[in-house]
Structure 1
């Protein structure tokens, strides 16, 4: 019964937010898709409580590459890239910044986590060009299923399935599956196997 009520709430929320979703998609045809998407994401992040969670799920379901209808995207979460996949049962805590990534099913992301679009977003090699004018490259970060990422972590590399990332950790190298990592830079401190 509870599952059916939740399913109905997600459907109603998707319908309620559909004018907002359509406006975003129409403006994206003319302007930079990620810039438009990011602006709409910022506005939606301000909606508090369960209403905000359901409306964000309804919006992201139709604007991201893929997004399960049952995700929980909390208050003040900013998504900056449309090329993002969020699978079933994902929880994203308040005040996160999410870049270009794939988040596997049943993954928990604590508050204040930053998932960057790789570690090459900004170049700074040419001393004759200001850093803000130097190009960079975006990489799609993969976070495996059933992971737990602690509060305040910064993710710049892939994380294998069934892994735990300690609070405040900075992940700059790929993490193998079933790992427990912590530190800056994050290192494997234990295996879950």
Structure 2
């Protein structure tokens, strides 16, 4: 019975999100889709409780590269890129800021986690050109299945499967499967596969 009610709720919220998605689609024909996406994300991030969880998942199913029904995306969480994938069983805590990424199944993302679109988003080599004008390169960061990113961690490189990133860690290099990492910059302190 619980699964039937959840399925009905997902359908209801997809219908609620459909008119807003149609508005998004029309506006994206005349402007930057990612810029517009960020604005709509800010709006959807403000709905509290389970109502917000279901409404966000419904809208992101329409607008992201992939978003499963079975995800929880907390209050105040922002996404900056449509090219984001979130797979089933994933929990994303409140107040996160997530760039271009692929978050695999059954991940736990703590509160206030920042997943950047790689570590090359900003060039800064030419001192005669303002930083804002030097451009950069966006990379898709992957979080492996069944990984846990602790509160306040900053992720700039891919994290393998079944990893633990300690709270407050700054990941600047790829993390191998089964690793437990901590620190700034994050270093492997232990393997979960013993």
Question: Is the pair's TM-score, using the shorter chain for normalization, greater than 0.5?
Answer: yes
Distance in 1 between residues matched to 2:11 and 2:165, nearest whole Å: 33
Specify the SS of the correspondent of 2:29. helix
Specify the SS of the correspondent of 1:51. helix
Aligned to 1:192: 192
Specify the SS of the correspondent of 2:5. helix
Residue-by-residue CA offset, 1:57-101 (whole Å, 9 max, x unaligned): 000011000110111111000000000010011110000001000
Specify the SS of the correspondent of 1:9. helix
What TM-score comes out, normalization by structure 1 length?
0.99
Quick check: 1:5 aligned with 2:1? no
Residue-by-residue CA offset, 1:95-126 (whole Å, 9 max, x unaligned): 00010000000001000000000000011110
Distance in 1 between residues matched to 2:29 and 2:71, nearest whole Å: 26
Aligned to 1:150: 150
Cα deviation, residue 147, structure 1: 0.4
Of the structure 1 ranges 108-117 and 3-12, higher mean CA displacement relative to structure 2 is found in 3-12
Distance in 2 between residues matched to 1:180 and 1:57, nearest whole Å: 29
Equivalent residues in 2 for 1:92-103, closer than 5 Å: 92-103=92-103
Specify the SS of the correspondent of 2:36. helix
Q: Which runs of 4+ in 1 moved over 2 A?
A: none
Aligned to 1:140: 140
Quick check: 1:167 aligned with 2:167? yes
Aligned to 1:78: 78
Quick check: 1:68 aligned with 2:72? no
What TM-score comes out, normalization by structure 2 length?
0.98
Would the aligned equivalents of 1:14 and 1:55 in 2 still touch at CA under 8 Å?
Answer: yes
Gaps of 5+ in 2: none
Distance in 2 between residues matched to 1:87 and 1:25, nearest whole Å: 23
Distance in 1 between residues matched to 2:23 and 2:56, nearest whole Å: 15
Equivalent residues in 2 for 1:170-185, closer than 5 Å: 170-185=170-185
Aligned to 1:39: 39
RMSD of aligned Cα (Å): 0.6
Would the aligned equivalents of 1:10 and 1:70 in 2 still touch at CA under 8 Å?
Answer: no
